[in-house]
Structure 1
Amino acid sequence: MQSAIKNDIKKTKREPAKRIDYIMLITVILLVIIGVLMIFSASSVQASYEYNDSTKFLRSQLQFAAIGFVFMYIASKVNYKIYKDYVFIIYIFNIILLILTLSPLGVSVAGAKRWLNVGFRFQTSEFSKFACIVTTAYFINLNKYTMHKLKSVIIPIGFLILNCALIYVQPSFSAMSIILMVGLIMIFVGGMSVKFMLISAVPFGVGIITLMMKQQYRMARLISFLDPFKDTSGRDWQISNSIYAMASGGLFGVGFGKSTQKYFYISQPQNDFIFAVIAEEFGFLMSVLLIFIYVFLIFRIFRLFVDTKDTFGKMIVCGVGLQLGLQTIMNIGVATSTLPNTGIGLPFISYGGTSIIMFLSMTGVLLNISRYRVSKRKKEVVK
């Protein structure tokens, strides 16, 4: 009898869950729908002025979202463990993309080379986010029993530094910072000792501050964060108008499509400051509800992290959850002036083809991992 129970336990541990996490899927679809609606509202004025077509950004985002959902479906069907076999190909391909971005093939916008033209503008740092997550997860899984030793963390940190250096020179300071933070936190969660974490945090912190101070516009953003209303017609116009937009929304908002701050008072209303338009048109209550939706999605990802027993899969879940959570916090923090301006989009909502394609693709990877999670039924059998 006992041997039969043990065999049943072993069998249940091996069997993948037959259903993906549909709650996670529905939550992501809801965020994409909100994003499409708000991009139409936030971008209509700018699109009419620049392209004589108020639906220009809307139609582009719908196309990108459709591509993203196709990639998400494919990723949800592909066994996530295959990334372990091709991790170096993924990383090298990522490095090649970053190098090509800096070459004459790269597209320069406002003095920054962050895109490749592949029929549409492809922002290579967005792919780097996934590539670094998979690469870091691979090394953590490879050294899962020795992550407390320095030799086990040097190599993944070196891969991160190389990647971040190529992104920095584009320049894309915000993307570099978030990739570095996600990678280091993953390594810490994977077993890096507190001593090594503290030792590495100091030089990385000093390095980031030094790089920030080297560029005058980054220092201007920091000063603007400290006093967002000192120069509202100059240096502080972005953040001050973002605050005005949220304040004018009140409790219930001015109504969908009725934002006044999107009339060239807010920079990139369909992208970096789309949360300000949401707050203005739908008010404080809907803004809090949107934040709750993100918190709920992060909670679902955290549950998947707990229920995933394979180290490689667990660390991919950790990385994607950190990427989503940190980027959400940074975007909303900038719009509300609780963080310095970083120029980073709101996941699933802000306009951006590469961003929504990559976030939906990473969601597909999570959905595939959710097939192999330990379900409640299996936990009961194990007990």
Structure 2
Amino acid sequence: MNKQKKRSVLGWDPYLLIPYLILCIIGIVMVYSASADVAMQVGGTARSYLVKQSIFALVGIGIFFLLSRVNLTFWRSKYTLGFLSGILIVLLVYVRFFGAAVNGARGWVNLGPVSIQPAEVCKFFLTIYLANQFARYENLSRSDYLRKLRKPIILTIVLIGLILSQPDTGGALINASIFLVIIMASRIPWKYGATALVGGFLALLIGLPYVAQLFAKIGGYRAARFVAYLNPFANASGSGTQLVNSYYAISNGGIFGSGIGNSIQKMGYLPESNTDFILAIISEELGLVTVLIILALLATLICRIILLGIRSNNLYETLLCYGTGTFFAVETMFNVGAVCGLLPITGVTLPFISYGGSSMFVLSASLGLVANVERRMRRQKARRQQEVA
């Protein structure tokens, strides 16, 4: 029992809490550093971004601790899920037509000093909704199970379709990944699930270049930015400028970086330097070593989340962990891949590091639910040990 207590930090799993807090601190510092030019463009100061990101992080930490204590049955209530789904659909429809536009995408609802991005909230909602739905189907016959699939599939398609219409390709792909992983981890017959997963993955690999070319023909800022990864130097002063300057930033940083605050690319050369491409600024100022530390912290979180899902004897909690782990892993992969030119630029941020409130709140809420699962598992284990003793 004493050994078990030593492995917790004030009652929370250290493998979740410590990486989370370190990432939040790194994010606050680097948003402050990366926002110098962004602040000048809007007539403010980098300090204002420091204050905002600090507030976002503190509120996010509060959400984490709150949701780690709230009974998980609250999130399984049909009234809670019904209310959230209705609000989310209304918000997604609203932003499609009346939302604040940023770089050609209408994805934000402005509420005074705070902007909410419904596509981010959708990642949290789909995880808890799909985990609940498929956990409820655990004891159904195969025919009933396949019939029950209609409702979650239809709702998922509606939500992803609304996100794509903004357009928000990255958000749509992350939500689709959450759906695929949860459905694969549930009771769907493996021969159907494995075939769908492998087929979808191969189709993605084969079709990605053709989809990229189609986006280029459609035109527009986001379409051009999406295909820039194919050959950024072909239009280095246009659609490829973001990726080219990201390369320069990574190259300038080397192994140990040029020193915090000494980035050249953040001074108007690299767009979205404090959000989508903050990892490039980190690489330039603090070097490859710090980038690897950040990725190691994120990998620790993701692996711990998945491990908790494997260890849980409750299907709902297992699916909840798998969905959250997928959310974190795919978002990290898309951001790092875009910064390095390995994947198209989709506007996905780096978890806990990039500037922004919606992302911080949703990520913290999702991690809070996982911490809740871990606490329940720890209490259950302690009770078993007491019974044996």
Q: Give the aligned partner of residue 9 of structure 1.
A: none
Q: Give the aligned partner of residue 6 of structure 2.
A: none
The CA distance in 2 between the partners of 1:295 and 1:256, in whole Å, is 24
The CA distance in 2 between the partners of 1:302 and 1:226, in whole Å, is 33
> 2:180 corresponds to which letter in structure 1?
L
Q: Is 1:100 equivalent to 2:94 in the alignment?
A: yes
The CA distance in 2 between the partners of 1:273 and 1:58, in whole Å, is 17
Q: Is 1:162 equivalent to 2:158 in the alignment?
A: yes
Using a 3 Å threshold, how does the CA distance of structure 1 residues 285 and 379 change in structure 2: closer, same or farther? Answer: farther
Q: Give the aligned partner of residue 74 of structure 1.
A: 66
| Contact 1:225–1:339 under 8 Å retained in 2 | yes
Deviation of 1:95 after TM superposition, in Å, equals: 1.3
Matching residue within 40, 58, 64 for 1:48: 40
The CA distance in 2 between the partners of 1:309 and 1:248, in whole Å, is 49
The CA distance in 1 between the partners of 2:70 and 2:111, in whole Å, is 25
The CA distance in 2 between the partners of 1:340 and 1:114, in whole Å, is 19
> 2:42 corresponds to which letter in structure 1?
E
> 1:172 corresponds to which letter in structure 2?
D
The CA distance in 1 between the partners of 2:158 and 2:347, in whole Å, is 22
How many percent of aligned residue pairs carry the same amino acid? 29
| Contact 2:119–2:171 under 8 Å retained in 1 | yes
Gaps of 5+ in 2: 1-9
Q: Give the aligned partner of residue 191 of structure 1.
A: 187
Q: Give the aligned partner of residue 357 of structure 1.
A: 361
CA shift digits 1:2-48 (9 cap, x unpaired): xxxxxxxxxxxxxxxx9331331121010000000000011122212
Q: Is 1:134 equivalent to 2:128 in the alignment?
A: yes
Q: Give the aligned partner of residue 153 of structure 1.
A: 149
Matching residue within 263, 287, 296 for 1:292: 296
Matching residue within 118, 122, 133 for 1:124: 118
| Contact 1:61–1:353 under 8 Å retained in 2 | yes
Q: Give the aligned partner of residue 106 of structure 2.
A: 113
The CA distance in 2 between the partners of 1:221 and 1:380, in whole Å, is 56
Q: Is 1:337 equivalent to 2:335 in the alignment?
A: no
Gaps of 5+ in 1: 1-17
| Contact 1:153–1:187 under 8 Å retained in 2 | no
| Contact 1:147–1:153 under 8 Å retained in 2 | no
Q: Which region of structure 1 is more displaced relative to structure 2, 125-134 or 86-95?
A: 86-95
Deviation of 1:203 after TM superposition, in Å, equals: 7.6
> 2:235 corresponds to which letter in structure 1?
D
CA shift digits 1:325-358 (9 cap, x unpaired): 1101110111111111111100100011111011
Q: Give the aligned partner of residue 261 of structure 2.
A: 257
The TM-score with structure 2 as length reference comes to 0.86
Q: Give the aligned partner of residue 31 of structure 1.
A: 23
| Contact 1:271–1:346 under 8 Å retained in 2 | yes
Deviation of 1:102 after TM superposition, in Å, equals: 2.7
The CA distance in 1 between the partners of 2:87 and 2:223, in whole Å, is 34
Using a 3 Å threshold, how does the CA distance of structure 1 residues 47 and 55 change in structure 2: closer, same or farther? Answer: same
Deviation of 1:94 after TM superposition, in Å, equals: 1.5
Matching residue within 172, 179, 182 for 2:178: 182
The CA distance in 1 between the partners of 2:320 and 2:141, in whole Å, is 16
2:149 aligns to what SS in structure 1? helix
| Contact 2:312–2:377 under 8 Å retained in 1 | yes
CA shift digits 1:295-343 (9 cap, x unpaired): 1111211221122222112211111111011101110111111111111
Q: Give the aligned partner of residue 83 of structure 1.
A: 75
Matching residue within 371, 374, 378 for 2:375: 371
Using a 3 Å threshold, how does the CA distance of structure 1 residues 291 and 147 change in structure 2: closer, same or farther? Answer: farther
Deviation of 1:150 after TM superposition, in Å, equals: 3.1
1:224-303 aligned within 5 A: 224-303=228-307
Q: Is 1:22 equivalent to 2:52 in the alignment?
A: no
2:158 aligns to what SS in structure 1? helix
Equivalences, count: 365
The CA distance in 2 between the partners of 1:25 and 1:178, in whole Å, is 24
Deviation of 1:382 after TM superposition, in Å, equals: 9.6
| Contact 2:15–2:300 under 8 Å retained in 1 | no
The CA distance in 2 between the partners of 1:255 and 1:147, in whole Å, is 61
The CA distance in 2 between the partners of 1:110 and 1:248, in whole Å, is 27
The TM-score with structure 1 as length reference comes to 0.87
The CA distance in 1 between the partners of 2:44 and 2:14, in whole Å, is 40
The CA distance in 1 between the partners of 2:164 and 2:304, in whole Å, is 32
The CA distance in 2 between the partners of 1:142 and 1:66, in whole Å, is 35
Q: Which region of structure 1 is more displaced relative to structure 2, 95-104 or 124-133?
A: 95-104
